[in-house]
Amino acid sequence: MYWEAVVANDSRFDGTFVLCVKTTGIYCRPTCCARLPLRKNVEFCTSPIDAEALGYRACKRCRPKLANDADPQMKLIVRACEVINSDEEILLDYLAIELNMSPSHL
C-alpha cells in the first residue's frame, strides 16, 4: 500500500508515513518530486522521528518534517490496513476495538 501511494504521488498520504531510501540515507514525503528510487532500496517509517532514529536525514527538497498532518480518515484507513495485514484471520469486532470505533461504523 505504501509503495503504491509513492508511485501514484498520492497527496492523501502526506503525514501518514515517510519513504526512506537506503542508498542515499534520505527520507522523503510520499509526494516528493525527486526521482523514484528502486523498490528494493526503500523502507517505510511512520514518522520523521522514526526515520531519524534509523539514521536517515530529511530531504531538502520536500522537507518532510514540515508536512501537514494527514487526513484523519486516511490515518484510520492506514491503521486498519496494518492491523488486517498483521493477522491471518481477524474479526470485525477485534478490528473495531483496535481502531476505537464501533463495528457498525467501521
Of 28, 45, 59, 62, the active-site residue reads 28
DSSP class of residue 22?
A: T
DSSP class of residue 85?
A: H
Q: Do 26 and 56 form a contact (C-beta atoms < 8 A)? A: yes
Residue with cell 509526494: 31
Of 85, 17, 15, residue with least CA distance to 3: 17
Catalytic: 28? yes
Cβ neighbors of 32 (< 8 A, separation 6 or more) are 19, 59, 61, 62, 64
Q: Which residues are catalytic?
A: 28
